[in-house]
């Protein structure tokens, strides 16, 4: 598989939180359809980088270009619309709405985009199937295992057909078997659908699912490893 086309390019990103320089000079490129792991010790700036790349936070310096547009300069309204249609996000936990059933959680982004309820549920069900959580439709997040909840979260991140999924420690709260199942489902589905994944993790076994690894240290890129030769 070749992932030569850059989909998202960030140059010389810097971001300061209070007096902490979370990012100092991060240049990174995500190619279409690739799975890129961003690793680094805790506090190295991984989440801040993800927030800047996904347009959740604006960098203090540097540029983020997605499909020819400067995300860092896009007006709020255009930015949130683009995020809703082109990006999906998965966090370590907490992004499912506890009062809603699994299928309603997955269907929510479609409902918010104006898709009818029946159609939204149909598409949501198909994504739940791909993540192996068919049968959990009527359960609420509190009634699911951590691994099931993460697979439901991924179905929700993918339901709108994004080009990129940003995943911040998606297996951080799971045991190793559940983590393996979530990763296998995510990688398989993303490859099948040609979706690029920016995967943040401090777990080497999770990073080993990626095509490429970028390592952060003190807010800057320390090292980059291309695994592609292996395949």
Q: Identify what 42 binds: other proteins, ligand ADP, Mg ion, none; CB under 5 to 8 Å per kind.
A: ligand ADP
Site string for Mg ion, 56-95 (x = CB under 5 A): ----------------------------------------
**Stretch 39-78 residues interacting with other proteins (CB under 8 A):** 41
Stretch that binds other proteins, among 88-96, 100-108, 123-131, 183-191 (CB under 8 A): 183-191
Backbone φ, ψ for residue 197 (5° rounding) = -125, 130
For residues 22, 27, 32, 35, the Cα torsion angle rounded to the nearest 10 degrees is: -50
Site string for Mg ion, 27-56 (x = CB under 5 A): -------------------xx---------
> Residue 91: phi, psi to the nearest 5?
-110, 180
Q: Give the Cα separation of 172 and 176 in Å (integer).
A: 10
Which residues contact ligand ADP by CB under 6 A?
Answer: 17-18, 20, 22, 40, 42-48
CB closer to Mg ion out of 33 and 45: 45
Of the two residues 43 and 161, which places its CB atom closer to ligand ADP in the complex? 43
CB 219 to Mg ion: min, Å: 13
Strands ordered across the beta sheet of 220-226: 69-70, 61-66, 6-17, 20-31, 220-226, 212-217, 35-39, 196-200, 164-168, 87-90
Distances (CA, A) of 125 to 61, 111, 112, 130, 149: 42, 14, 17, 9, 15
- The answer to whether the CB of 30 falls within 8 A of the CB of 36 is yes
Kindly state the tokens that stand for 161.
Answer: 């057909």
- β-bridge partners, 35: 197
128, exposed or middle or buried, with CB in 10 Å at 0-12, 13-18, 19+? buried
Contacting range for other proteins; rule: CB under 8 A; set: 63-71, 90-98, 132-140, 221-229: 221-229
Number of residues forming the site for other proteins (CB under 8 A)? 18
The correct pick among 13, 107, 209, 219 for binding other proteins (CB under 8 A) is 209
Nearer to other proteins by Cβ, of 72 and 169: the residue is 169
Return residues touching other proteins (CB under 8 A). Answer: 41, 184, 187-188, 204-205, 207-210, 213, 222-223, 225, 227, 229-231
């Amino acid at each position: 598989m070749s992932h030569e086309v850059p989909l998202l390019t960030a140059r010389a990103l810097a971001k300061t939180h209070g007096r902490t320089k979370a990012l100092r000079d991060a240049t990174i490129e995500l190619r279409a359809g690739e799975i890129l792991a961003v690793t680094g010790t805790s506090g190295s700036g991984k989440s801040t980088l993800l927030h800047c790349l996904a347009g959740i936070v604006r960098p203090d310096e540097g540029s983020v270009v997605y499909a020819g547009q400067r995300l860092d300069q896009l007006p709020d309204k255009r930015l949130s619309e683009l995020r809703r249609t082109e990006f999906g996000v998965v966090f370590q936990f907490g992004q499912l709405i506890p009062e809603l059933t699994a299928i309603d959680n997955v269907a929510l982004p479609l409902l918010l985009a104006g898709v009818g309820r029946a159609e939204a549920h149909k598409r949501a069900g198909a994504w739940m199937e791909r993540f192996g959580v068919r049968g959990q439709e009527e359960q609420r997040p509190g009634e699911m295992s951590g691994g099931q909840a993460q697979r439901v979260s991924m179905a929700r991140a993918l339901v709108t057909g994004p080009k990129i999924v940003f995943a911040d420690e998606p297996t951080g709260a799971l045991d190793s078997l559940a983590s393996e199942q979530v990763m296998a489902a995510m990688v398989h589905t993303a490859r099948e659908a040609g979706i690029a994944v920016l995967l943040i993790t401090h777990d080497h076994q999770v990073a080993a699912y990626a095509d490429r690894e970028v390592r952060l240290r003190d807010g800057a890129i320390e090292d980059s490893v291309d695994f592609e030769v292996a395949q």
